[in-house]
Structure 1
Amino acid sequence: MLAGLSPARRRLVLGLLALLLVAAAVVAAVVVPRLAGDDAAPAAQDDTPGPVLLVPGYGGSTSSLQTLADRLTATGRDATVVAVPGDGTGDLTDSADALAAAVDDALDRTGADSVDVVGYSAGGVIARLWAADGGAAQARRIVTLGSPHHGTTVADLASGILPTECPAGCRQLTTDSELLAGLNAGDETPDGPTWVSVWTTADQTVTPPDSAELEGALDLPVQEVCADSRVTHGQLPSDALVQGIVLAQLAAGPPVELGAGDCARLRQG
């Protein structure tokens, strides 16, 4: 095709092709979302852990996590509860942006190399959104507490019966949510941090409770540690046993397997 063109026209066509290739590369860089696992090196696990960011659930109440933050502070950790936009019922990606800003602030303030993140309920989904958009490169460990990683039928019910009372954040937590389908389509736990999912079999908000299971994470139902625990969804952040589990998982070193032999010790607080 090019052989039949004059030298001047051939140079013009080749120049246009080069411009098109450059433009295509730019578009691809803008359109294709960052996948945190592509270039996130595993965070050091045995070094002194950095600050902890705690992310509230649907509704955005920071008070629900304050007792856990206080307990972390008492052990010498730098712990901050992240305030999510509005009332915490809006688009979860906006809350992920708020987490990203809080992480940057914490790293700048402390000079640490990485953070630990604890996401309660929808806060765990927010943490995953942040990690998938590059945050995994900044995290050492991500712990989720009773998070509906695969949706909850409670949100299905709200969306179906009272759609006007189910705002964006509620719709994003349904079992057929496009947002969750996208998060779960590839690697549920991007490289970089280590992942732990703590949940309760007595959960009546995240239904079924095993929606909190996360492929690639250390999955830890509270009842595997204390079989008689009846901790509910709303009690997860303030329960002494659950707090003990979280502190154990945020210590230096890799996540730890816990079982019945740890029940009494962790329950003492």
Structure 2
Amino acid sequence: MVALISRLILLAQLLITAGITLVLIHFAQFRILPAATISIAILIAVRMLITANNFRLACRFRSETPQQFRISLLQACRLYLEEFCSTMITSSWTMPFRALRIYIATQPKGIPVLLIHGYGCNSGYWRSMSRALREAGITHHAVNLEPVFGDIDDFVPEVREAIETLCRKSGHQRIILLCHSMGGLVARAYLCAHGTSNIAKVITLGTPHHGTALAEFGAGLNSEQMRWISHTQDQHSKLREGALAMVDIAESCPAGCNGMPGHWLKQLAKREDPAHYKLFTSIYSHQDNIIAPQTSSHLPGAYNIELHGIGHVALGLNSRVLQIVIDEILATNQQD
């Protein structure tokens, strides 16, 4: 479904670009090449503005950035350009046309990996990661979560089926879950339902473990389940209800953040065995443009790897992150 939606969006963009080109040719007397160039430039500018707006929104709810993870203006420009390019590649090429199939390495290294994508994506998001896993000789499989805007808990059976398939075809009883964004919450919901007997490790990339304020701008039940409620939003809601009151959020609020996780995330935490967190490696960026506050990705009890200068979509494509993930996978094999 995501592949189809992505293709339709891509087709709409091409039609709009063609329409602008025709208008420029017939009404402004442009030649074909200049008209097409201007039309494509307009399309790219709009896409760049969408990416910039994500950074703007994330900035509104950002957590305090530790001194060692702050970036210069030049690094900020690189961050933006990498995120924009990553978004263009995934939304316009890999998700529409490059869905993944199971890969069984001929000379396997490490534990097999199941890739779980995030909100609004499909297995095509993992194309760059899959290439790195293949080069490292790591067997892997990817799941496509459907329906796109469904309940996170309802994705668990799909993950269970994919785990059973990977275990059966690889000959391993335990695997690693590698998750981007919402995928990490799906993994946590899976562990609640089925335990850890088949799971050696869970690696999350930019997962909103405590929620993200930008989920308020998303669609679907899963977006609502990922919400982070800032103090200001919470106060406004209570004022509308005519019952403004003090709320104790000390246990649910990540350090340095001004708010709390939404209802579903609180209920998820109550259902979990805290011992599960020892299986987690949470990798996140202090400049994430979708997860805000950024320290929402910090999972207490897990091994947290803090990065800087990397955007949300780019976490699955960035060479530095790819190497960290490969190292984590191979280290897990050595530990076992």
State which of 173, 180, 187 in structure 1 corresponds to 2:226.
Answer: 173
Once residues 284 and 334 of structure 2 are traced to their aligned partners in structure 1, the CA distance between those partners, rounded to angstroms, is 15
State which of 72, 90, 104 in structure 1 corresponds to 2:133.
Answer: 72
Residue 188 of structure 1 and its aligned partner are, at CA, apart by: 6.5
Residue 189 of structure 1 and its aligned partner are, at CA, apart by: 4.8
The equivalent residue for 2:313 is 234
Query: Relative to structure 1, is the Cα distance of residues 74 and 135 closer, same or farther in structure 2, using a 3 angstrom cutoff?
Result: farther
Task: Point out the structure with the larger helix share.
Answer: 2
User: Which one has a bigger Cα radius of gyration?
Assistant: 1
Residue 193 of structure 1 and its aligned partner are, at CA, apart by: 6.6
Query: Relative to structure 1, is the Cα distance of residues 204 and 192 closer, same or farther in structure 2, using a 3 angstrom cutoff?
Result: closer
List structure 1 runs of 4+ shifted beyond 4 angstroms. Answer: 186-189
Give 1:182's aligned amino acid. Answer: Q
- Residue 296 of structure 2 corresponds to residue 211 of structure 1: yes
Once residues 124 and 271 of structure 2 are traced to their aligned partners in structure 1, the CA distance between those partners, rounded to angstroms, is 34
Residue 190 of structure 1 and its aligned partner are, at CA, apart by: 3.8
The equivalent residue for 1:184 is 269
What does 1:1-269 correspond to in 2, within 5 Å? Answer: 49-87=110-148, 89-156=149-216, 158=217, 166-175=219-228, 176-185=261-270, 187=272, 189-191=274-276, 194-223=279-308, 230-253=309-332
- Matched residues, number: 195
Once residues 130 and 190 of structure 1 are traced to their aligned partners in structure 2, the CA distance between those partners, rounded to angstroms, is 14
| Percent identity for Structure 1 against Structure 2 | 24
Describe the superposition over 1:13-53 as per-residue Cα deviations: whole angstroms up to 9, x where unpaired.
xxxxxxxxxxxxxxxxxxxxxxxxxxxxxxxxxxx743100
Q: SS where residue 165 of structure 2 aligns?
A: helix
Instruction: Kindly indicate whether the alpha-carbon contact (under 8 Å) linking 2:206 and 2:283 is maintained by their aligned counterparts in 1.
Output: yes
Which consecutive residues of structure 2, in runs of 5 or more, have no partner in the other structure? 1-108, 229-260
Which consecutive residues of structure 1, in runs of 5 or more, have no partner in the other structure? 1-47, 159-164, 224-229, 257-269
Query: Relative to structure 1, is the Cα distance of residues 170 and 253 closer, same or farther in structure 2, using a 3 angstrom cutoff?
Result: closer
Instruction: Kindly indicate whether the alpha-carbon contact (under 8 Å) linking 1:69 and 1:81 is maintained by their aligned counterparts in 2.
Output: no
Query: Relative to structure 1, is the Cα distance of residues 255 and 85 closer, same or farther in structure 2, using a 3 angstrom cutoff?
Result: farther
Q: SS where residue 119 of structure 2 aligns?
A: coil
For normalisation by structure 1, the TM-score amounts to 0.67
Instruction: Kindly indicate whether the alpha-carbon contact (under 8 Å) linking 2:278 and 2:302 is maintained by their aligned counterparts in 1.
Output: no
For normalisation by structure 2, the TM-score amounts to 0.54
Instruction: Kindly indicate whether the alpha-carbon contact (under 8 Å) linking 2:277 and 2:300 is maintained by their aligned counterparts in 1.
Output: no
Q: CA RMSD in A?
A: 2.2
